[in-house]
Amino acid sequence: MLKYSFYISFAIFIAGLIFRLVQWIRFDLDKESAEQSKVKRTFALWESLWNHLVSAQVLLMLKAFFWDGLLQVRVLKSSPLRWLTHMSIFWGFILLLLFHALDDFISVWLLPEYASTMNPYMFLRNLCGVLVLTGIFAALYRRRKKRIVKHISNWMDYSVLGLIAAIIISGFLVESLQIISEKQFDSMVTDYMITDDESEILALRAYWAKYYSVVFEQTVDTSNTILIKTGHSVNEDSCASCHSRPQYAFVSFNLIQFFAPFATVLNALHMDTILLIVHYMLCFIGLAWLPFSKMFHMISTPLNYCMAASSQESKHLAATANGKIVSLDACTHCGVCSEHCSVAPIHQVIGNDCILPSEKIGVVLSMAAGRHPIVLENLFSGNAVCTECNQCTQNCPSGIPLLDIWQGAKRELQNKGMYLPQDLIKSHSAYEWSEIWKSQKLATLPGQSFISDDPQTYEACVQCSVCTQVCPIVAAASNSGDPIDVTPQQIMNLLRIGLKDKALGTQMVWTCATCYMCQENCPQHIPVADVFYELRNLAHAQINFKQTGEL
């Protein structure tokens, strides 16, 4: 059964790899990518894989692979603690995979007198397991403790950590149950004992009960020194060449004390065999799931490093198109970008997850896949908040050119017919906007108090028009031959007579340069520019309130 399970999971793994490779060709991040023919892109991907994995630029690639892939220097630069966490999980798991899971193919050939039941291999295997579990614990702690990382962590992040932890824990349990198992002892005796002298076997039982922690159903006399002595010599002849004492497997050995009281029941239930199957199955699930989960970054992230380090992808358009999708796939959802994001506090107030780079990237990928969900509107408005400070790119441990992606996505979504509020507002006159908004519920800005609603704000206005005379927008607009629709002084008047809805969509309010000339020069100290800010806040809420598609 195990064999077939392995074949099935391996087949799914290979199918998944092909599926992801095809996505690299199939998805178009932008118009330029879409213009490249799929045939060209297939060849380009083949060429990239060939170049990066096999030939020409092999030295450059090796450097990127060792430095960024194996030593993960970029993670170290971004945070030493996170590097330690990731290195523990990565190296602990890789070593277990190579020397434990694949021991028949690797350890047996590489290591002198290798046997999985010999020291130092028992110790090293336990050490690797502890490393992985410590790393997982640290990663979980980080995901629960840091505000932004906690917010973005999703079921994928937790279930991958959970699966790896489950593989390691089940491994420890299998080992400790095998140590105490009488059945294991009996089958080994049948297979490897040279004699079948009952008294020698009895002596060996006593010796193994005492020094190898096997728990026998029938109590064995371990205080009989003669018996133990005989057991010792039998052990030396038949067992010791392949079996070290179990305490070297320091985790599994210490787990025994929890199982010892129920040992006979566990042995009778074949618990060690059941757990071994569970252990195998979890590994197979991991293998099959790898290409579909975030674990795929084990392949995509090093490839992204290599592609970024080579000149190939920047020269060749089809390869560039593939490279963009590979770079999206290189995301490990670690959340470092969002931790460094300059506008993350704005997300805390406004609440659109598409403000955070770690969340935007997934939506950009679904945009590249050609899906056009409502979430793209969130992406567009969240992306509009970005100040292009480039912190995300500079801190990304996977080396993804994030800022380029955001700028590209902005253009793409505009090509798809989405408008920023400042552009959308130009599609109607202020009067038309007031008619449109009349029929809908008014958006509210909870908590904010409004000076524009307070009659005292404009009470002192004498319509002297100083605000209009000093306004550089009014002056520039009349110089351009396209005078502004309503002047600042007229807006003050609209508000004064209670026609706030007619002011919200005016070009004056939306083109305001916020230079505060009006406010500074007003002889009556009316906060003209502050009122304009407030009107834009309200109009923004009103525009975002109604989905753009409905206009």
Chain positions contacting other proteins, by CB under 8 A? 147, 340-346, 348-350, 385, 387-391, 403, 421-423, 445, 447-449, 472-473, 476-477, 479-480, 510-511, 513-517, 519-520, 527, 529-530, 533-534, 536-537, 540
Nearest distance in Å: CB 173, other proteins? 39
Q: Which one, of 136, 134, 171, lies nearest residue 157 by Cα? A: 136
Token duo for residue 357: 């780079």
Distance of alpha carbon 176 from alpha carbon 274, whole angstroms: 13
Distance of alpha carbon 16 from alpha carbon 20, whole angstroms: 6
Nearest distance in Å: CB 390, other proteins? 4
Chain centre to alpha carbon of residue 76: 17
Nearest distance in Å: CB 361, other proteins? 18
Whether 193 and 238 have beta carbons less than 8 Å apart is answered as yes
Nearest distance in Å: CB 525, other proteins? 9
Nearest distance in Å: CB 380, other proteins? 13
Whether 292 and 16 have beta carbons less than 8 Å apart is answered as yes
The nearer residue to other proteins, 178 or 457, going by C-beta atoms, is 457
Distance of alpha carbon 314 from alpha carbon 393, whole angstroms: 18
The nearer residue to other proteins, 216 or 533, going by C-beta atoms, is 533
Chain centre to alpha carbon of residue 205: 52
Nearest distance in Å: CB 447, other proteins? 6
The nearer residue to other proteins, 435 or 482, going by C-beta atoms, is 482
Q: Which one, of 252, 268, 176, lies nearest residue 214 by Cα? A: 176
Residue with tokens 């009067």, as numbered in its chain: 431
The nearer residue to other proteins, 329 or 485, going by C-beta atoms, is 485
The nearer residue to other proteins, 237 or 530, going by C-beta atoms, is 530
Here the contacts of 19-24 (C-beta below 8 Å, separation 24 or greater) are 19/291, 19/292, 20/291, 20/296, 20/299, 20/300, 20/329, 21/45, 23/325, 23/329, 23/369, 24/322, 24/325, 24/326, 24/329
Nearest distance in Å: CB 391, other proteins? 7
Nearest distance in Å: CB 376, other proteins? 19
- The string of DSSP codes covering 35-80 is HS-HHHHHHHHHHHHHHHHTSTTHHHHHHHIIIIIIS-HHHHHH-H
Nearest distance in Å: CB 179, other proteins? 47
Whether 89 and 326 have beta carbons less than 8 Å apart is answered as no
The nearer residue to other proteins, 481 or 498, going by C-beta atoms, is 481
Stretch (H or E) spanning 338: helix 336-340
> What DSSP state is assigned to residue 442?
P
Nearest distance in Å: CB 1, other proteins? 50
Neighbours of 259 (CB within 10 A): 18
The nearer residue to other proteins, 15 or 350, going by C-beta atoms, is 350
Whether 434 and 505 have beta carbons less than 8 Å apart is answered as yes
The nearer residue to other proteins, 70 or 350, going by C-beta atoms, is 350
Nearest distance in Å: CB 420, other proteins? 8
Phi, then psi, of 460 in degrees rounded to 5:
-85, -5
- The string of DSSP codes covering 529-545 is HHHHHHHHHHHHHHHHH
Nearest distance in Å: CB 43, other proteins? 36
Q: Which one, of 334, 341, 347, lies nearest residue 390 by Cα? A: 341
Q: Which one, of 346, 340, 412, lies nearest residue 380 by Cα? A: 412
Nearest distance in Å: CB 214, other proteins? 53
Nearest distance in Å: CB 147, other proteins? 6
The nearer residue to other proteins, 325 or 341, going by C-beta atoms, is 341
The nearer residue to other proteins, 6 or 516, going by C-beta atoms, is 516
The nearer residue to other proteins, 324 or 540, going by C-beta atoms, is 540
Using a 10 angstrom Cβ sphere, with 0-12 exposed, 13-18 middle and 19 or more buried, the burial of residue 409 is: buried
Listed in order, strand segments (DSSP E) in 182-241 are none
The nearer residue to other proteins, 423 or 453, going by C-beta atoms, is 423
The nearer residue to other proteins, 341 or 379, going by C-beta atoms, is 341
Token duo for residue 271: 């618990």
The widest CA-to-CA distance across the chain, in whole angstroms, is 118
Distance of alpha carbon 251 from alpha carbon 244, whole angstroms: 15
Residue with tokens 């502890």, as numbered in its chain: 130
The nearer residue to other proteins, 146 or 210, going by C-beta atoms, is 146
